[in-house]
Chain A
Amino acid sequence: MTQAPPSDDECDRLLGRVRMGDRDALGSLFSTEAGRLIAIARRILRRRELAEEAVQDAFVSAWRAAPSFDASRGRARAWLTRIVRNRALNMLRDDARLDLMRDDELQSFQERGGGATAAYTALGEGNALRACLDQLEPQRRQSILLAYVLGYSHGEIAATLNTPIGTVKAWIRRGVIALQECLS
């Protein structure tokens, strides 16, 4: 990364201006956040053009919804990221998924699983989330990362890990409980 990411405070300040109807402030948020948001959406949607569409829709939604942003429930950057993630997941749940699956050039589920692991190792050794993920059994950790980073369904995780779906569901339920208890 060539440019230091702007601070959470700066994002909060800009969204505060968007809430008051300032379109230029949304443009400033776009210029600092869009690249990272496209990358997050592309982890889920794989295709660049779909990821860009998700981010574009998300910024339009953010414009409309900014007045109801509740600062007591989280930071502006996380809120924006959530809108992008929700939009990308909705596009996946849509039948767009079928089109995605037909493309021969796309990596297999197994190969993409490496991307989820990379996102986790990028957290760094001293990170609390990393430390708690490290305490999980590897298959539970991998299931949670596949769901969050790549937007996989239970069935896709089962296919990736070559495991019955019921086992995957149990791993994830136990895994998210242990993870939240470790983080609290």
Chain B
Amino acid sequence: MSEHEDRLARAGEFVLGLLDAEARAAAERDLQTDAEFRDAVDRFRRHLSEIDATADADAVPTGMWPEIARRIAAMPQDARSDRPMAVTPANQNSPAWRRAGLAASLLAGLGLGYLAGGWQAGVREPVVLVVLQTAANEPGAVFEAFADNSVRVVPLEDFAVPDGKILQVWTLYDPAVGPVSLGTMTRSEIVTLASAAFPRPSADQLYEITLEPAPGSPTGKPTGPILVKGFAKRPPR
């Protein structure tokens, strides 16, 4: 299979939603850096969307829009930004990040064992767990994310936070929406970040911590170096 064909195949599988979490994350990175891949994805999406246009409209419950209006009433919009999540020139081709998905799977067991006691004692259970890894492929933090998008952050490394900087926690629940901020931390310590009005956390959802200018990224999107990142796992019930 030629490189061109391979690109078309990956674009096709990506648009069809058939890639696994790791391949999907790689494709999302390539969308930011590989113009040919992005064009193939956009073009194939545009063609396939004609199938969506054939759907006959369902009835819409009368309470739906008022509920959406209530949810967005006090919700600010994300700042305009062209800067994608998880792509900076320094790390985009790093093999360490590419290996991180596999290592995160292996480490999930460690994370589960580490946190199991907390669930029994706690009043509520996390929806997903995340083992976040450093660029050196070491576990750097563990997150417990709850249904309301509050997140308990357990740093496993003492991240240096220079003066005028802050640690900012992000998640990517939908590539079309882009990364969203879950909150900031002034230093490397165990904290629970307040709830946020995003969809319930899902398996394979990307989380990361970046270093940003205090009091938080000026653009509303990650701008600084990524300290740790990882994909969510659902604990077995």
The closest CB in chain B to the CB of A121 belongs to: B54
Contact B17–A64 (Cβ < 8 Å): no
Q: Does B117 contact A (CB under 8 A)?
A: no
Q: Does A102 contact B (CB under 8 A)?
A: no
Residues of B within 8 A of A35 (CB): 57-60
Residues of B within 8 A of A181 (CB): 8
Residues of A within 8 A of B178 (CB): 65, 68
Query: Nearest 5 pairs between A and B by C-beta?
Result: A176-B12, A35-B57, A122-B54, A39-B55, A65-B177
Say yes or no: A68-B81 contact (C-beta < 8 A), given A31-B65, A151-B17: yes
Interface of A is mostly: helix
What's the Cα separation between A119 and B173 when bound, in Å?
28
Q: Does A109 contact B (CB under 8 A)?
A: no
What's the Cα separation between A184 and B177 when bound, in Å?
28
Residues of A within 8 A of B16 (CB): 144, 147-148, 172, 176
Q: A60-B199, A145-B51, A172-B12 are in contact. List 18 more A-B contacts (CB 8 A).
A: A1-B56, A26-B72, A36-B56, A48-B58, A52-B64, A64-B76, A65-B174, A68-B82, A79-B176, A86-B174, A91-B202, A95-B234, A119-B54, A122-B54, A128-B47, A129-B48, A147-B17, A172-B18
Q: Does A90 contact B (CB under 8 A)?
A: yes
For the complex formed, measure the closest distance between the CB of A56 and the CB atoms of chain B, giving whole angstroms.
6
Residues of A within 8 A of B78 (CB): 64-65, 67-68
For the complex formed, measure the closest distance between the CB of A51 and the CB atoms of chain B, giving whole angstroms.
8
For the complex formed, measure the closest distance between the CB of B180 and the CB atoms of chain A, giving whole angstroms.
7
Residues of B within 8 A of A89 (CB): 17
Contact B45–A67 (Cβ < 8 Å): no
Q: Does B197 contact A (CB under 8 A)?
A: yes
Most buried by A among B11, B50, B56: B50
What's the Cα separation between A121 and B202 when bound, in Å?
34
Residues of A within 8 A of B175 (CB): 86
For the complex formed, measure the closest distance between the CB of A93 and the CB atoms of chain B, giving whole angstroms.
6
Contact B51–A39 (Cβ < 8 Å): no
Q: Does A83 contact B (CB under 8 A)?
A: yes
What's the Cα separation between A17 and B171 when bound, in Å?
26
User: What mask results when residues 76 to 106 of chain B are scored 1 for a CB within 8 Å of chain A, else 0?
Assistant: 1111111000000000000000000000000
Q: Does B34 contact A (CB under 8 A)?
A: no
The closest CB in chain B to the CB of A182 belongs to: B47
What's the Cα separation between A147 and B48 when bound, in Å?
11
Interface hits, B144-193 → A, CB 8 Å: 173-178, 180
Contact B40–A180 (Cβ < 8 Å): yes
User: What mask results when residues 74 to 100 of chain A are scored 1 for a CB within 8 Å of chain B, else 0?
Assistant: 100111011101110111011100000
Listed by A's residue number, 24 A-B pairs whose Cβ atoms lie within 8 Å are A30-B65, A31-B65, A35-B57, A36-B56, A36-B57, A39-B56, A39-B58, A40-B52, A52-B64, A60-B199, A61-B173, A61-B198, A63-B68, A64-B177, A67-B80, A73-B38, A74-B45, A78-B49, A85-B17, A87-B199, A122-B54, A148-B17, A172-B13, A180-B44
Interface hits, A9-55 → B, CB 8 Å: 21, 23, 26-27, 30-31, 34-36, 38-40, 42-43, 48, 51-52, 55
Q: Does B121 contact A (CB under 8 A)?
A: no
What's the Cα separation between A160 and B229 when bound, in Å?
37
Residues of A within 8 A of B67 (CB): 56
